[in-house]
Homo-oligomer: A and B are copies of this chain.
Amino acid sequence: MLVTDLETPVPVIDLDRVEQNIARMQAYADDHGLALRPHIKTHKLPRFAKAQMAAGATGITCQKLGEAEVMADAGLADILISFPLIGAAKAARLAALAARAKMRVAVDNPLALDTAAEAAQRAGRPIGVLVEFDSGMKRTGVTSIEDALALLRKVRDTPSLRFDGLMTYPSNAATAEFLRAIAPLIAAEGMAAAVVSGGGTPGFAHAHEITGVTELRVGTYIYNDRMMLEAGAASLNDCALEVHATVVSRPSPDRAILDCGSKTLAMDLLPRGGVAAGYGMLLDYPDAVIERLSEEHGMVDLSRSDRAPALGERVRVLPNHVCVVTNLHNDVVLARAGVVDSILPVAARGLTR
């Protein structure tokens, strides 16, 4: 079956580009002596997690326990959960995972540390801990050297835990500065950060310049998207996922309506450009702007486009943010040279717990 025979809207993934993206990132990591620990949040597919491991990845990254459970079920055996887990229910699930995979977790607070300790105790085997620090994202992560050291010491003093190192997102100049300041203090405690995990596809090509970082956590690179184009981290030929859609209405000369709305493309905007840049790029009509989305409708402004798609025409949309697109779909289509290879359930989609 050709991808052009598929009913729309449908996310179509080019396997050649996926393989090229996996190989290129692994080569970058290998060239610079970085461990690569891909984030599965972008693809959410055991098949691609295994392909990343086969290419040389050191393990995978998951954001939530549910994702890790799907990956462990599929045989992935070395998993970092890069999100603070808190509470007895999470500890029980983490313990069950630790019984069948090498687990590591990021913590930035004492309750997350206690949860990891409880899990390790239940599992009867140590769980690795990375202390997360904030390098400017203002998200999770301790914001001071003192808080990081306090957590490090608490990890060291908890028999069921193993101090593995540090983590941040993204890797940047502030990362290097934090590492420079904390390194002698960690040494003074008689400890060592074997792993310093940094991340982010947008700036991945500079990861090796951040002194002290040993591991690269990247997810988006496997598909890429419009945000990665804007960040200069990918070219159009590196973009592996397109949404195929149909023009279902042409109410006026300067407006086309697509059958893909926020349930298909998500509402994420480009950091620069915002609404003016639209909710995705029409690959064959680059001057058309997807200016609004309803849940099922994509409203396209054609007023600045010389050409216009006809009623009933199929069009290809490059999403702004591909990770949230795969999360919306129950299935994705894998294709090679326009021929359908397989249709896969997005096994780890929607697993927010």
Whether B86 lies near A248 (C-beta < 8 A) is yes
B contact residues around A87 at 8 Å (CB)? 7, 246, 312
Distance in Å: Cβ of A54 to nearest Cβ of chain B: 26
B contact residues around A140 at 8 Å (CB)? 248-249, 251, 257, 297
Distance in Å: Cβ of A83 to nearest Cβ of chain B: 6
Distance in Å: Cβ of A69 to nearest Cβ of chain B: 13
Do A350 and B299 contact each other (CB < 8 Å), given the known contacts A83-B248, A143-B251, A250-B109?
no
Whether A263 lies near B350 (C-beta < 8 A) is yes
Distance in Å: Cβ of A342 to nearest Cβ of chain B: 18
Cβ-closest chain B residue relative to A67? B296
Do A83 and B139 contact each other (CB < 8 Å), given the known contacts A109-B250, A251-B108?
no
B contact residues around A294 at 8 Å (CB)? 139
- A114-147 Cβ-contact flags toward B at 8 Å (1 or 0): 0000000000000000000010001111110000
Say if the beta carbon of A167 comes within 8 Å of chain B. no
Say if the beta carbon of A174 comes within 8 Å of chain B. no
- A240-261 Cβ-contact flags toward B at 8 Å (1 or 0): 0000001011111001010110
Copies in the complex: 2
Whether A111 lies near B311 (C-beta < 8 A) is yes
Say if the beta carbon of A10 comes within 8 Å of chain B. yes
A251 to B264, CA, bound (A): 34
Whether B353 lies near A86 (C-beta < 8 A) is no
Say if the beta carbon of A327 comes within 8 Å of chain B. yes
B contact residues around A248 at 8 Å (CB)? 83-86, 109, 112, 140
What residues make up the interface of A, taking CB atoms closer than 8 Å to B?
Answer: 7-10, 41, 63-64, 83-87, 89-90, 108-112, 134, 138-143, 246, 248-252, 255, 257, 259-260, 262-264, 266-268, 294-297, 299, 311-312, 323-324, 327-330, 350, 352-353
Cβ contacts A to B, 26 pairs, < 8 Å: A7-B89, A7-B353, A8-B353, A9-B353, A10-B353, A83-B296, A83-B297, A86-B248, A86-B311, A86-B312, A109-B250, A109-B311, A140-B297, A141-B251, A142-B251, A260-B352, A262-B266, A262-B268, A266-B267, A267-B324, A295-B323, A295-B324, A296-B352, A328-B350, A329-B350, A329-B352
